[in-house]
Amino acid sequence: MAIDTVPERLQRARRGVGVSGRGPGTPTARKRRHTGALTMAGFALPSLVLLLLLNLFPVIYAILQSLQNGTPSTLPWDAPFVGLTNYGNVLTSAQFWASTIFTVIFTITGVFGSWVIGLALALLLRTKIPGNTVFKVLLLLPWIVPVVVSSTAWNWLVATPQSPVPVILSVFGAGNLNFLGSPVLAQIVVCVFKVWISFPFMMMMMGSALASVDVNVYEAAKMDGATSWQTFTGITLPMISRSTYISWVLMTIFCVNDFPTIFLLTQGGPQNATTSLIVLAYQYAFQNFATGPGTAVAFIMTVVLVIVSVVLYQQIKKVNIE
């Protein structure tokens, strides 16, 4: 039997073939890989089945409900099939479009209001100020405290003209203000409340993004004579743009799907002024016992959220390319 030379052995090693001639390309190796793949698939199969049952089944069941005229207690095979009638009734409803407008206002205010405040505080906390750590913990409290507690406190502060905030404002000539009794004032209160409980999340997102920016870039810009505003717009915002778009996607989803913030504070009133789409879906399904229109509203919301998420995700990809 001929003995392999050193160059031949090196060449065989690069191909993954040993001295005995067995390597990844041999039948034995292929059989082992096939067996290993089957074993891994067997281990993963129960988890995949469980995920499908927990996620896919509720979606299919909800789609069926949106095409039927039933109640929360009606079984799928007992409810009459109405096709796309529920979607047509919802899309031609004045309340649906009023709720859509408020949802847009609530989302835009919640996303950009909390982002501006969160970014400003994140920039402030990067400076050396006394009690920096304590200040950070205190700023996280609106996000840490359960929304039930926060909404109860805000109700006590603004619910009636005799509440502390209206009384204080009346001293300065604001008159008798009924924040939760006026449609416009109630919308303002709900939007401000959403910003108040959301800015800590944005502050953490922006703080982590700012920590990843190289300080040498700022020093170079300072040496070139750049002003603080030029540094902020030309360096800080572009460098944290990826994290910014991600936080916008997450906060948009949080705002559109935010049921407890609105319901615990105003329950959608007064005069349905603060009824968002998620609250409207709840009212249809659990107050009017019409699950068809309720799930139809929910699926319309889902489609809109997917579109917004895709648009912002394209911006994230552009940032990565650049």
The pLDDT of residue 27 is: 63
The pLDDT of residue 34 is: 67
- How far is CA 283 from its chain centroid? 23
Classify residue 256 by burial, with Cβ atoms within 10 Å: 0-12, 13-18, 19+.
buried
The pLDDT of residue 231 is: 86
The pLDDT of residue 278 is: 94
Q: Round to whole Å and give the CA distance between 99 and 17.
A: 68
- How far is CA 187 from its chain centroid? 21
Contact 182, 270 (CB under 8 A): yes
The pLDDT of residue 28 is: 67
Average pLDDT for consecutive 10-residue bins of the chain (322 residues)?
A: 54 50 57 72 81 80 85 77 90 93 95 95 83 80 89 89 87 83 92 94 91 83 83 87 90 92 90 93 90 91 87 76 46
Q: Which CATH superfamily is domain 86-321 in?
A: MetI-like (1.10.3720.10)
The pLDDT of residue 115 is: 96
The pLDDT of residue 177 is: 83
Query: Could you tell me the residue ranges of all domains in the chain?
Result: 22-51, 86-321
CA nearest neighbour of 250 among 204, 214, 201, 298 = 201
The pLDDT of residue 29 is: 61
Other CB atoms within 10 Å distance of the CB of residue 239: 18
The pLDDT of residue 322 is: 47
**C-alpha distances in Å from residue 142, one per residue of 138, 261, 291:** 8, 12, 34
Q: Round to whole Å and give the CA distance between 17 and 10.
A: 10
CA nearest neighbour of 320 among 213, 201, 238 = 238
The pLDDT of residue 7 is: 56
